[in-house]
Structure 1
Amino acid sequence: MRQSALIFLALLPLAFGAETVQAQETPEDYLDRIAAINEAGPSIHAVIALAPAEAIAAARRGSGPLAGRAVLVKDNIETRDMPTTAGSLALKNNATGRDAPLVAKLRGAGAVILGKTNLSEWANFRGNHSSSGWSAAGGQTKNPYAIDRSPCGSSSGSGAAVAAGLAWAAIGTETDGSITCPASVNGVVGFKPSVGLVSRALVVPISAVQDTAGPMAASVHDAALLLTAMAGTDPADPATAEAGKHAGDFTAGLAEAKLAGVRVGVLRRQVGSVRGVATLFDRAVADMKRAGAQIVEIDFKPAPRLEQAEFTALLFEFREGINAYLAALPGSAPVRDLAGLIAFNKTHEAEEMRWFGQELFEKALAATDRAEYEKARSDAARLAGTEGIDALLAKNKVDVLVAPTTGPAWAIDLVIGDHFLDIGAGSLAAVAGYPHLSVPMGAVEGLPVGLSFMAGKWADAKVLRIGAGYEKARSAVLAKPALQPWRAR
């Protein structure tokens, strides 16, 4: 290990925050840091695989807007030089030799694809009582701010890796909360773009309607720079047919972004009851008001049927999507459909199902009623989109909706599973397929909490500009990763 990595470890609890990551660091610097704290030291298990040394060396000679910048990619996104496992032992040898189109775009922009990040196995869509950040292939990802606390899921490794300075930025994927939640609890910026802005081809699917990849980074600018390289139309993904009209330089105007005159809709009911979150949120709203934003209080209750309609739709879409993906894999994959996955897990129960089962797999296998599905998906889209975000924006004449993203990280509990909190409104943006940005707004007892910005379809550039405006106006001092268990400070 190089001396610079040792110095980094010594100073990390005192001087390092996600916002201080230096873009000019080399891939070698990040590799040293991965060696020091991913498997050794606090063993945060955020990185599940590293690219071959020759591939990293070759990529360093590239050019473009991301030249030399080290990027980690969630391990449900195909890369030509590493297996794509989705965290499952069933795909541990799934080396397809293909780059997902979004990865090819990153390479074309000069990015150095450093490795793959751990994730909640099957993107947290396998069983009840799962522990975010756990996969049979990669173990339990830990939150760098408190290594006995959850990194949230399913892009847990991507969020933890950026927070711990293991790469300049990372790519996550989201169906509902899987970029924004890990961004929030790991104290980084996470952006879930409008569905259809970034290709999903060669990404292990859950939902053809809600899935998207997105950037996770130390700042809104860095996330926007990464999104600029990823966005665009891809013939292999029909959802991206209109992406060309909305792609472009998402960093444009961020340096000058201001909140003056921006009408901000405050979702007060979505603050929840966790002590300290309301205080952070009030401070964030006050910061925006002081920066010139017009604050509009909104009293909103989500429709009771939304959650069940979404769940019914996801079960059907997962069965169809995963069957198609597995059937098309090159080589000799040991499973070719969902039924095969269920059988594999039963055969490897000790390794795969010690902590939780596969109830979602089994329900998805039985979800074959297309009429029921189409009704559920139609209801979900209406309640989250037309009667949800669209109606809130129009009725209150606001540019953006804000709420806490989620609460502080809960303790990792492999026996009982996750302890998700009733905070935030991100499911609206997830189900509707609309943009959702999480920006750090402070911490509760040293545990980060993010601020969510949401708006309508294709309003990605607007959301990023408003988020950048808040980032400048933010008065809270952000916490720093401790790389040790949480303790009362």
Structure 2
Amino acid sequence: MKIIKKLGLLVCLYVFSIVAIAADGASIDALQQQFKRGELTSVALVERYLTQIEKHNTDGANLRAVISLQQREKLLDVAAKLDAERQAGKYRGPMHGIPVLLKDNIDTADGLANTAGSYLLRDHMPPDDAFIVQQLRDAGAIILGKANLSEWANFRSTNSSSGWSSLGGLVKNPYDTTRTACGSSSGSAVAVSANFVTVAVGTETDGSLVCPSAISGVVTIKPTVGLLSRDGIIPISHSQDTAGPIARSVADAVHLLMAMRGVDESDSASFASDIDYKQSLRRDGLAGKRIGVMRDLAGYNTQLDQVFNAQLDVLKAAGAIIVDDLEFPNGRNWGGDEYSVLLYEFGEGLRTYFAQSPHPEFSTLEDLIAANKAASSVTMKWFGQELFEMALARQSDREGYEKALTDARRKAREEGIDAVLSANDLDVLIAPTVSPAWKIDFINGDHFTGSASSAAAVAGYPHITVPMGFVHHMPVGLSFFGTANSEATLIEAAYGYEVRTQARRAPVLASPY
């Protein structure tokens, strides 16, 4: 009887593991091998994802991660053409025939509106693709549709709940739909985690890639500002904004990152990089790395700290040299300056964006404020537009803005990240990415207790988060960040860590039946 029970348990565990693997989806490299062997086509892959979205976006788990989809006929036509290219021997690279979702603040000229999640922009049709979208199309990616987000990339109210938009509703965490998906790239992270798509594109000003990715148990790479063009992206801050890849593995994030990069002459921050980041996908990527533990970016959640501290032994076992108990020399003293910068650059950035991607009704922040008031029953159902109004009030203070920008960058760069790296001869800094997901609360808004995002965000430096385990049933992430253009080093460390831990577990989505 004991033997029968044990065999039954083994069978159940085997079946569960097969289901989990299927639920989590194949990697880009695995998909390309299936394409090559004739076991899968891009047409079939698109159909698979459309079915999963239909089951769990507004039904089933009701994740609300996708705000719009390209017409099925168009998608299947693009997929069939890419299948035909592959059959004819034309291979564009790792993204050939791979479906991608874009955060709904990125321009496309294919009939999909670019809305920032706002009801006001529900019919906003850009005149052309954003630079990174054109790069993706050239690489053979299939633009499946747009991911929901925190409205206006979480820059409308001081009391907002991450993941909610007046157009798309509330994005929910796939591990527990009563808990936040964080933001603002909520839908992009949830869609990848829930296997709605292979990979997705998000954007970050401060935390909008790394927070939702960590909280939904996926990987992101926030690159150095300028590695990816900012063209055709509804902005908050030109000094901090960047797009970035979201994926279920470091390798997939690297494939998407490399497909999007390229020099854009229209973007003053754009720069060339010919580094093959795939070469940084080394199993021994942690060996010899000097890693600094930023203790002033921890300490806000006891159980999170326990998970984080356990990772130090993993890093040491992989050959890393741990330098513990580090803090920024002057503390995290850039926050006030950052706030001033974001408020000023938001209004200026919107004017520039609408000049390049015109809307028939709106061209300035003033226009949007008035329109939100007129449609307040829809757009301001849960919270107001205090940040819009504060940003408008700051538009005349150019001198104050310029000083704040200079001070913020110095504090986060030379006196912050670079100072800690230099003083301790370090390659990488680490910290817990963000607290475990908190309960959704429309009355009080988000319940942030701490995160590791701001230093790299203000500095414009790269930041990677990788799943490191769970606090109860909720995933948490480990952050790797460093100086400008240190993506290759960070990818080595993050990949070396990922292959040793394999901490990600796919969410189990509610049945639609």
TM-score category (smaller protein): over 0.9
2:218–2:504 Cα contact (<8 Å) kept? no
1:341 equivalent to 2:360? Answer: no
Identical positions, percent:
46
Which of residues 282, 289, 311 is equivalent to 2:339? 311
How far is the alpha carbon of 1:17 from its aligned partner? 8.9
Residue 68 of structure 1 is matched in structure 2 by 97
CA contact (8 A) 1:232 1:247 kept: no
Sort the Cα spacing of 1:188 and 1:56 in 2 relative to 1 into closer, same or farther, 3 A: same
Q: 2:319 corresponds to which residue?
A: 292
1:341-420 → structure 2 map (5 Å cutoff): 341-367=368-394, 368-420=396-448
**Could you give the per-residue CA deviations for residues 333-361 of structure 1, whole angstroms, max 9, x where no partner exists?**
32111000000000011101121110100
> Is this contact kept in 2: 1:195–1:433, CA < 8 A?
yes
**Match of residue 132 from structure 2:** 102
Provide the residue aligned with 2:257 in structure 1.
Answer: 227
Task: Decide whether the 8 Å contact of 1:84 with 1:91 is kept in 2.
Answer: yes
Report what 2:75 is aligned to: 56
Deviations 1:239-259 (A, max 9, x none): 00xx21x24322123144431
With structure 2 as the length reference, what TM-score do the two structures score? 0.88
Aligned length: 470
State the distance in 1 between where 2:17 and 2:67 align: 22
Structure 2 counterpart of 1:6: none
What is the Cα deviation at residue 290 of structure 1? Answer: 0.5
Deviates more, 1:319-328 or 1:398-407: 319-328
Amino acid at match of 1:137: L
1:132 to 162, 172, 178: 162
In structure 2, C-alpha distance between the alignment counterparts of 1:481 and 1:256, rounded to whole Å: 26
Read off the aligned partner of 1:120 and give its amino acid letter. Answer: S
2:424 is aligned with what amino acid? N
Confirm or deny that 1:151 pairs with 2:177. no
Aligned to 1:281: 308
Aligned counterparts of 2:375 and 2:405: Cα–Cα separation in 1: 34
One-letter code aligned to 2:473: G
Q: How big is the shift at 1:414? A: 1.6
Matched-pair contact (CA < 8 Å) for 1:74–1:118 = yes
Aligned mates of 1:184, 1:139 — CA distance in 2 = 21
2:507 to 467, 481, 487: 481
* Alpha-carbon distance change, 13 to 133 in structure 1, aligned in 2, over 3 angstroms: farther
AA at the equivalent of 1:73: L
Equivalent-residue separation in structure 2 for 1:12 and 1:130 (angstroms): 38
Q: Answer whether contact 1:155 1:172 (CA < 8 A) is retained.
A: yes
Change (3 A) 1:12 1:70: farther
1:27·1:68 contact (CA, 8 Å) conserved in 2? no
Residues 145 and 484 in structure 1, CA contact (< 8 A), matched pair in contact too: no
| Unmatched runs of 5 consecutive residues or more in structure 2 | 1-14, 32-39, 83-90
Does the residue aligned with 2:479 lie in a helix, a strand or coil?
A: strand
CA distance in 2, matches of 1:317, 1:358: 16
Other-structure match for 1:113 = 143
Mapped partners of 1:36, 1:484: distance in 2: 10
Secondary structure of 1:468's partner? helix
Q: Take 1:378 and 1:201, find their aligned partners in 2: how far apart are those partners?
A: 24
TM-score (norm 1): 0.92
Checking the alignment, whether the CA contact within 8 Å between 2:283 and 2:499 is kept in structure 1 is no
* Equivalent position of 1:192 in the other structure: 222
What is the alpha-carbon distance in structure 2 between the residues aligned to residue 380 and residue 171 of structure 1? 27
Q: 1:185 to 1:259 in 2, by over 3 A?
A: same
Give the residue type in structure 1 aligned to 2:389: E
Larger Rg: 2
Indicate the SS of the match to 2:124: coil
Mark the CA change 1:462 to 1:18 in structure 2 (over 3 Å): closer, same or farther: farther
* CA displacement, residues 70-116 of structure 1 (integer Å, 9 cap, x when unaligned): 11000000011210000011110011241101001011101111110
Deviations 1:387-439 (A, max 9, x none): 001111000111000000001100111222111112x3220000000000000
